[in-house]
Structure 1
Amino acid sequence: MFSKNTLQKCLFTAVFVLGGTAITSNATAATTPGRTEFEILMNGKPVGRHSVTVSKSADITNVRIAIDMAGKIGPIGFTYRHRCEEAWRGTQLTSLNCTDKENRASKSVAANLRGTDLVVDGTGFKGSAPASLLPSSWWRFSTINQTRLLDSRDGKLSRVNVNRVGEEVLQIGGTPVRANHYRVRGAVNTDLWYDGTGRWVRTAFKIAGQSFDYRKVTTLTGSPRE
């Protein structure tokens, strides 16, 4: 039997913390600007949206992330709102500023590059972290090459692991798309899909017997990739 707090903790950890061990792909190293948006389904019914918008200004890549969810698991209602801004110079994260609200509970994290470290000020962790650490924002395919991630909700340093399942064909906007399927195992069980160029195209997981699925609602051609 799951308590309200346990359901919320499991749900929002699944929605936001992912990553893995070293796995290769055909993903390009150059960041391509664009926008991707997913409709979040719970047991086939819409409960929210998740969008990522990537733009460039000179040598800086700017990223805006928005997640909004609301629904019920049995009699237990939940709401979730996440906003995050990332700045990158090439493959190096230079700053991060995120706010996160689960029902009435709020979290936040700010991180800035200082020399060879990321200086993190979050509700879950305050201190220095390796500059090579990536945030748990999913849109960068290289996230799956990490064994630790910076949790974009509260700044915690999370150990992660993932294995490649294989190649599958997904229907995106009525078009068949070949995608690589990765299975995350850790505090939660989550599955991720990226196409052959490293664009994020699907996420799925189960919590307390409920099935959650990300259905891409924007075109592949306009999607960002690193």
Structure 2
Amino acid sequence: MTRILSLVTALALTALAPAAIAAPGASVPASGRLAFDVIRKDRDIGDYVVTFRGAGDDLTVDIATDVRVKVPVIGVSAYRFAQTSTETWRGGQLAGLTSRTDDNGTAHDIRVGATSLIPASLWNADLVRARAVLNTIDGSTDAITVSNLGMDSVATGQGPVEATHYALRGGLDRDLWYAGATLVHVRFAAEDGSQIDYVLK
């Protein structure tokens, strides 16, 4: 009887634990791809796409972000952010990362070796356990705090999804929603104060 009660307690604690705490492989969707529209002021201004190769905790992850904000009426780009990066994961640890970024005309190229830090690329739900993240633009380390804000219903291109809402603050300010361990929504404030949302396609 005691053994049965212990098993029931363990299962209950597992169910109550944050679903996003998992090995990197748990954050990979069955399709092997995550694609988001980047939305600002109800306008689609770009894309954030994550592509996974490999299996389990041995992964190669290709990430592409392309954002263009245009001046109304004349249609000229006022701001551009483009980034391509590749993460290599071995045994659940980051074995290497390369990244090339055009931040509105300012170029960054970085190459990082093995590290225990989790990149600030957002797809990996282990991010919610971190106290510091690897900045994928310049390779620096950003200290963060993480708060679990509970469950929300999140709109996606495939309909609403129940997801856990986490608030990251500090060197990286982002609100993230994970359904289980899969990233389904991102929200943050742009430098001009406008709200940016990554909406899952």
Shared fold per TM-score greater than 0.5: yes
Separation in 1, partners of 2:158, 2:95: 38
Partner of 1:48: 46
Q: 1:186 aligns with which of 170, 173, 180?
A: 170
1:137-156 to structure 2, matched below 5 A, reads: 137-156=121-140
Separation in 2, partners of 1:59, 1:164: 25
Length-normalised TM-score, structure 2: 0.79
1:111-137 deviations in Å (ceiling 9; x for gaps): 123xxxxxxxxxxxxxxxxx3111111
Partner of 2:97: 96
Aligned-CA RMSD value: 2.3
Residues 142 and 171 in structure 2, CA contact (< 8 A), matched pair in contact too: no
AA aligned opposite 2:118? L
- Higher alpha-carbon deviation: 160-169 or 72-81: 72-81
Partner of 2:14: none
AA aligned opposite 2:166? Y
CA shift at 1:76, angstroms? 8.3
- What is the percentage of aligned positions where both structures have the same residue? 28
Q: 1:25 aligns with which of 8, 18, 23?
A: 18
CA shift at 1:177, angstroms? 1.2
**Secondary structure of the equivalent of 1:175?**
coil
Residues 108 and 155 in structure 1, CA contact (< 8 A), matched pair in contact too: no
Taking a change above 3 Å as real, the CA distance of residues 209 and 94 of structure 1, as seen in their structure-2 partners, is closer
Taking a change above 3 Å as real, the CA distance of residues 165 and 97 of structure 1, as seen in their structure-2 partners, is same
1:204-223 to structure 2, matched below 5 A, reads: 204-207=187-190, 208-217=192-201
Partner of 2:62: 64
- Higher alpha-carbon deviation: 183-192 or 139-148: 183-192
Residues 148 and 165 in structure 2, CA contact (< 8 A), matched pair in contact too: yes
CA shift at 1:59, angstroms? 7.2
Residues 63 and 86 in structure 1, CA contact (< 8 A), matched pair in contact too: yes
Q: 1:36 aligns with which of 34, 37, 44?
A: 34
Residues 148 and 158 in structure 1, CA contact (< 8 A), matched pair in contact too: yes
Separation in 2, partners of 1:206, 1:161: 17
Length-normalised TM-score, structure 1: 0.71
AA aligned opposite 1:65? I
Partner of 2:83: 82
1:162-221 deviations in Å (ceiling 9; x for gaps): 2111101123234331100112222564311101x210000112232312111111xxxx
Which consecutive residues of structure 1, in runs of 5 or more, have no partner in the other structure? 1-23, 114-130, 218-226
CA shift at 1:160, angstroms? 1.0
- Higher alpha-carbon deviation: 174-183 or 26-35: 26-35
Between structure 1 and structure 2, the one with the greater Rg is 2
